[in-house]
Amino acid sequence: MTIQILPPRLANQIAAGEVVERPSSVVKELIENSIDAGATRIDIDIDKGGAKLIRIRDNGSGVEKDQLGLALSRHATSKLATLDDLEAIDSLGFRGEALASISSVSRLTFTSRTKAQSEAWQAYAEGRDMQVQIKPAAHPIGTTVEVIDLFFNTPARRKFLRTDKTEFNHIDELVKRIALSRFDLQITLKHNGKVIRSYRPASTLEQQERRVASITSNNFMANCMALNCEHDDIKLWGWVGLPHDNAPMDVQYSYVNGRMMRDKLINHALRQAYEEATGIAAPPAYVLFIEVSVREVDVNVHPAKHEVRFHQARLVHDFIFQGVFKAISEGISPSMPAAEL
Ligand code: ADP
Ligand code: MG
């Protein structure tokens, strides 16, 4: 038996197995990079469910020419430098793996221009060693990442892609989730050249509620309670659905510090609060934002970062429970003040 070090492309393809499950996972990583780069506008173009083309253009900070090679390399990130940073992550990314992984299983180009540069540069990684090539390009300040022929060189993965329609639906759902997480973002989503979603920045509460209604349903917005509570340095705000006929079952959006979550602790608190307030043993519909100090959560739990761990889990659970219980109790019997908690 001979032990050998894997060539970079192969190592990256193996790592890609963890984060790049399907086209929507690519879109997620790229949009998160745009948000981390301070973009206020993100345009997403998809062809054939993302298997043919995923193109994300942003007006963020861009990457300097001499950093482009690093941006496409594994374990290269501008978001984290020390172990202490890892304990207090305030960006969506930090693993430095997405671009290297994605470019190992597709034909990826990264075109970028910073404010300090008068011209743009385009980078792509080639061959077993993923040597990064760079050439001049035309681009305004910001970045465009193009991912063509996803999984073209990993047939086993390509085989698992569903129909264009199904893959696009995953992307659409993701874009809706992100549009809810950042009301200040302007986002457009096109599929095969056709505009499917277009959100303008929503700064007032009214504009935000309009965005929530368009993403969830008018039905949800018409039958929900807005909530906004704060205790020490934890904050909970958003909307939670009241019981009514045709209450939507699939409106379940929760965010921790702007990061979308599927979190057991949050779900449990919501379910329990809803059941105690209404007698209905089901989770409510909700769009909820939890904000805590970045030191209170560990986001480095899952490669795709779907989960978090709260250091003071009990406290967070009870805080969510109380906020939601109070809002729903007030919503179902508005004339009676909710029982003191
Ligand atoms: P991570 O996001 O975990 O740092 P990525 O592989 O996703 O890792 O990105 C590597 C680096 O490339 C980032 O840390 C960032 O510096 C740079 N980068 C990626 N996408 C963009 C973008 N859209 N705009 C500006 N910089 C970017
Ligand atoms: Mg990233």
pLDDT category of residue 336 using cuts at 50, 70 and 90: low
Check if CATH label 1.20.1250.20 holds for domain 216-332: no
Q: Which of 32, 33, 79, 144 is the best mutation target for the ligand 1 pocket, counting ligand atoms within 8 Å of the beta carbon and taking the most?
A: 33
List, in sequence order, every residue forming a beta bridge with 236; answer none if it has no partner: 229, 290
CA dist list (Å): 312 to 13, 318, 330:
37, 10, 28
Looking at this predicted complex, what is its ipTM? 0.99
- Closest by CA position to 16, among listed 163, 143, 157: 157
How far is 111 from 38, CA to CA, in rounded Å?
Answer: 16
Domain range summary for the chain, segments of one domain joined by +: 8-199, 216-332
pLDDT category of residue 35 using cuts at 50, 70 and 90: very high
DSSP 66-121: GGHHHHTSTT--SS--SHHHHTT--SS--SS-HHHHHHHSSEEEEEEE-TT-SSEE
Q: What is the pLDDT of residue 85?
A: 87
Residues 200/179, Cβ–Cβ less than 8 Å = no
Atom from ligand 1 closest to the CA of residue 62 = 25
- C-beta 309 within 6 A of ligand 1: no
How far is 164 from 161, CA to CA, in rounded Å?
Answer: 8
Q: Which of 77, 97, 124, 144 is the best mutation target for the ligand 1 pocket, counting ligand atoms within 8 Å of the beta carbon and taking the most?
A: 77
Question: Atom 25 in ligand 1: which residue has the minimum CA distance?
Answer: 62
Indicate the residue type of 308: V
Q: What is the pLDDT of residue 88?
A: 86
State in Å: Cα 120 to ligand 2 middle. 21
Atom from ligand 1 closest to the CA of residue 76 = 10
Supply 270's token pair: 């919501």
State in Å: Cα 29 to ligand 2 middle. 5
pLDDT digits (tens, 9 = 90+) for 299-321: 888 776 778 899 999 999 999 99
Task: Determine the average pLDDT of the residues in 286-301.
Answer: 91
Atom from ligand 1 closest to the CA of residue 71 = 12
CATH fourth-level superfamily of 8-199: Histidine kinase-like ATPase, C-terminal domain (3.30.565.10)
List, in sequence order, every residue forming a beta bridge with 239; answer none if it has no partner: 226, 287
